[in-house]
Structure 1
Amino acid sequence: MESLQRSVWEGLSALEKEEWMHTIARQLPEQMRYEGLQTFERYGQRTETGVFVCGGQQFVFVPGDRVTLGWDGWQEGMNEETSADMLETVSEYGVEDVDSFLSDQMSPVREVEIAPMLVECRTHSLGWTEVTEEEAVEQDDTDFAAALEGFRHGKLNEYEQYQQFRLVRQGEDIRIFWFNEDLALEDLLEEEAEAGFGVLTEDEWEYLYGGGCRTLFPWGDSFDYTLKLKHFGDLQEADDPMDDSTEPLTALVDQSDRPYDLELPNFFGVQFVGDPYTYELTLDDDGEMQPKGGDGGSMICGGMGPLVGFLPAATVFYRDANASDLDWEDLMDCMHYRRMIRLTEVAES
């Protein structure tokens, strides 16, 4: 297993890495196919790794590591722009100590051992399942037919009947999603385990997102005002990216085809939702649900602007203390998850 640890893996030749990927592939379910090596680079970190495909979904090999996770103070410290923006925003809500405000929302500092793993690059919606029009009609929902007809001839790009169905326009096509109200977390975990997959722990998620960095964001301690963010658009094109108005800046920016930066593959080749209105499912040390990567949009809805509003999605260690107060159905509505395989039993070749 030593060769699958990050410190050793980075020093292996491409041929040695290929040999390890083929060794791993021989021990995986038949539907998991090895595609080859690919290099991912972002935020000053770089990984040459193996890419696998299963059922049309990409997985990447992520080497193991021993890392420090959690946040209790600055490594570099905020630059002047970030510091002024942060203080101005939180002071409007009665917060005087920025460091305490941040540390109260971050996971505690701890040393952890991360096992090497295969990780699905993209997430799946937990509560919403894509269906055909015929399958949707079979649900016998009295509102669906009228909603679909109106959507088909209307100009909306997306329409949702709360926790019932969702319609999304994609070119000339309309994608239909149905809310899976009967899903239980235990059933999901059992179903994935039977298929040979697991779900990330909070430790694994923080490692995947930050790669063991000790800064607030994966790129450093200061906010990046060149980002294009969902709900705010391109901050560089905004009249004032530090404006903490209650309305997102979308109407003020150039809505180009440039992708949202927080959705791009990172240095492991893993992609995150990058939207504080959503969560990603992880489990804590006791196997209980620990949502990551969002706060259900609480701070954006509170008018906190791009910097503070995106802390839940952009920072490495954010932990929503209020998620446990939400009903399971409400969490399912905005929850995503990804499959993974821990490579703890691959023998040295």
Structure 2
Amino acid sequence: MSLADLSLTRWRSLDLPAARRLAQLAAERAGGRVAALETVEHLGAPLHRVRIARGEREFALIPGGEVALGFDADGWRSPPGLEADYAESAEQGYGCGPDLRAHLAQVLSPRRNVTVPTVLMAVEAEKLTAPPAGTPALLAAEGLRVPSSDEWEHACGAGARTLFRWGDACPLDRIPYGDDSGPHQQPNAFGLRIAHDTYDAELTSDPGAVHGGDGGESVCGGYGAVLAWLPLATAQRNPAMAEFVHGPEGEEMYEEFSTRPVLPL
């Protein structure tokens, strides 16, 4: 099997020796080395997790293929407490409607099937060192690129169809910022440190989408627990933050934002 044919479904069907061979092939193609290969439990089945070191960066192997992305608001079943917490925020007039399900349909990307390539994606997001318009050229000089919005969402959720990468529920007794014990602090299924800090807004190649955080707006605004956790939702694209980032003020504050370099295979 070649890396070009490596879909998430096929990757999950491989035994450990076969996964090790493909991990080594990816490392050789990237000019790096396999730093770790482990098998974790994900969605009720084993999933191999690979980290490849290249220079000062570590990348995770993200198998692609045809994948389901987005959030099905109509078919979603709300965990206990979320709707009540959201209703309290709505009553205080934080610019959201009275119904949580309708709000999710507005702010999350819709359910859809897309095809994404197999890539290596940086385990950690990196702060921008140039305005958004100049970032792609800087990465290209290193053989890297900015991820697409679909690639980011797939890498974050790793096939999960839940609201967050760890499930549908979020802690209602605290907000994510300053919480070192919450589910957002754990590496995701592919080994990425992703969607873990609402202040860390990650740019993609889509100027209308910023992932992983809202620049701290919801936390600073005291919007309530659910609205504070929602910027970490896998399908959340934070369009208002994206407009700010790519506007005049964002161009001046570029060092506050991040991106997650991708190494094509």
Q: TM-score, normalised by structure 1?
A: 0.66
Equivalent position to 1:205, from 127, 152, 170: 152
Alignment check: 8 A CA contact 1:281 1:289 kept: no
Mean alpha-carbon deviation: is it higher for 85-94 or for 37-46?
37-46
Root mean square deviation of aligned Cα: 2.6
Q: 1:316 is aligned with what amino acid? A: T
Q: 2:113 is aligned with what amino acid? A: E
From the superposition, tell whether residues 334 and 75 of structure 1 become closer, same or farther in structure 2 (CA, over 3 Å): farther
Distance 1:196 1:184 in 2: 19
From the superposition, tell whether residues 78 and 105 of structure 1 become closer, same or farther in structure 2 (CA, over 3 Å): same
Distance 2:9 2:173 in 1: 32
**How many angstroms does 1:191 deviate by?**
2.2
Number of the residue aligned with 1:141: none
Alignment check: 8 A CA contact 1:200 1:283 kept: yes
Structure 1 or 2, whichever has the larger Rg, is: 1
From the superposition, tell whether residues 92 and 46 of structure 1 become closer, same or farther in structure 2 (CA, over 3 Å): farther
Listed as ranges, the gaps of 5+ residues in structure 1 are 128-182, 234-257, 344-349
**How many angstroms does 1:10 deviate by?**
1.5
Equivalent position to 1:278, from 184, 187, 200: 200
**How many angstroms does 1:330 deviate by?**
5.2
From the superposition, tell whether residues 218 and 208 of structure 1 become closer, same or farther in structure 2 (CA, over 3 Å): same
Equivalent position to 1:303, from 216, 222, 243: 222
Percent identical: 27
**How many angstroms does 1:118 deviate by?**
0.9
From the superposition, tell whether residues 225 and 46 of structure 1 become closer, same or farther in structure 2 (CA, over 3 Å): farther
Distance 1:330 1:90 in 2: 33
Distance 2:26 2:200 in 1: 33
Listed as ranges, the gaps of 5+ residues in structure 2 are none
Number of the residue aligned with 1:322: 240
Q: TM-score, normalised by structure 2?
A: 0.85
Distance 2:175 2:140 in 1: 37
Residue-pair matches, total: 257
**How many angstroms does 1:56 deviate by?**
3.0
Distance 1:274 1:230 in 2: 9
Alignment check: 8 A CA contact 2:218 2:228 kept: yes
